[in-house]
Amino acid sequence: GAVVSQHPSWVICKSGTSVKIECRSLDFQATTMFWYRQFPKQSLMLMATSNEGSKATYEQGVEKDKFLINHASLTLSTLTVTSAHPEDSSFYICSAVGQASGRFDEQFFGPGTRLTVL
Amino acid sequence: GENVEQHPSTLSVQEGDSAVIKCTYSDSASNYFPWYKQELGKRPQLIIDIRSNVGEKKDQRIAVTLNKTAKHFSLHITETQPEDSAVYFCATRIYGGSQGNLIFGKGTKLSVKP
């Protein structure tokens, strides 16, 4: 199956600092990547949709200036949490869509990044 | 926009029994319905999916049924095992193309007691 990696797997930072999370599709080209946020015991909430070479589309209520998304290539998307605060602490998961194993409709998820802001 | 309701939020069954999780959706344009299993701290894993032109799909102990008229779909797990314990999410895709994002239900925590 298709593999999506995320880096780092966990990060602890001080309030006010910025954190960058990378999402890579390792064995297929991802035309679209999605960024989700998951708080403890809750579902995955879509933050933004990222298409290679264009600006990300953010969901209502998600601040685009705070959560910067860059999708510079067909295998890499980055999410930067700027001026992080404790309420940004969460599990961030990316997923990728592309022609992997002949399927266009399946989303392949990364392993997630646990962000803790002190 | 699309709204996905999932029930129950928690489900406890005895090993060997069946488990059923139900989801309803609001957007009749939805055409792809996957189910994911997520263990604590890990990524969601696709366990089965169904497209809108099919009413039922089965894969060993797991099956999904879809009622497009009523806009609901269900996950059925038979002969449950302790390793089936996890949180299960249903989802729908709201766009007709392949790039549409998934809308997730709130999840069902399944506990299988030995």
**pLDDT tens, residue by residue, A61-91:** 999 999 999 988 889 999 999 999 999 999 9
d(CA A27, CA A24): 9
Q: Token pair of A5, please?
A: 């990696």
The alpha carbon of residue B99 is apart from the nearest alpha carbon of chain A, in Å, by 6
Measure CB to CB from residue A111 to each of B34, B43, B51 and give the nearest one. B43
| Burial (CB count within 10 angstroms: exposed 0-12, middle 13-18, buried 19+), residue A4 | buried
Query: Starting from the edge strand earliest in sequence, which strands make up the sheet with B4-7, in order?
Result: B4-7, B19-25, B72-77, B62-67, B56-59
B43 with A49: Cβ contact below 8 A = no
B43 with A107: Cβ contact below 8 A = no
Per-residue pLDDT of chain B (114 residues; tens, 9 = 90+): 788 999 999 999 999 999 999 999 998 888 889 999 999 889 999 999 998 888 999 999 999 999 999 999 999 999 999 999 999 999 998 655 545 678 899 999 999 999
A112 with B43: Cβ contact below 8 A = yes
Q: Token pair of B34, please?
A: 């996957």
> Which residues in chain B have Cβ-Cβ distances shorter than 8 Å to A110?
43
- CA A91 and chain centroid, separation: 10
CB atoms within 10 A of CB A95: 24
Q: Token pair of B14, please?
A: 């005895």
d(CA B106, CA B90): 8
Choose from B6, B9, B99, B103 for mutation: most chain A CBs within 10 A: B99
Amino acid at A109: F
Q: What is the pLDDT of residues A96-107, one digit of tens each?
A: 987 665 666 678
d(CA B100, CA B81): 34
What would you report as the CA-atom Rg of chain A, rounded to the nearest whole angstrom?
14
Q: Which residue in chain A has the smallest CA separation from B31? A: A105
A43 with B106: Cβ contact below 8 A = yes
Q: Token pair of B55, please?
A: 């009413």
> Which residues in chain B have Cβ-Cβ distances shorter than 8 Å to A43?
89, 104-107
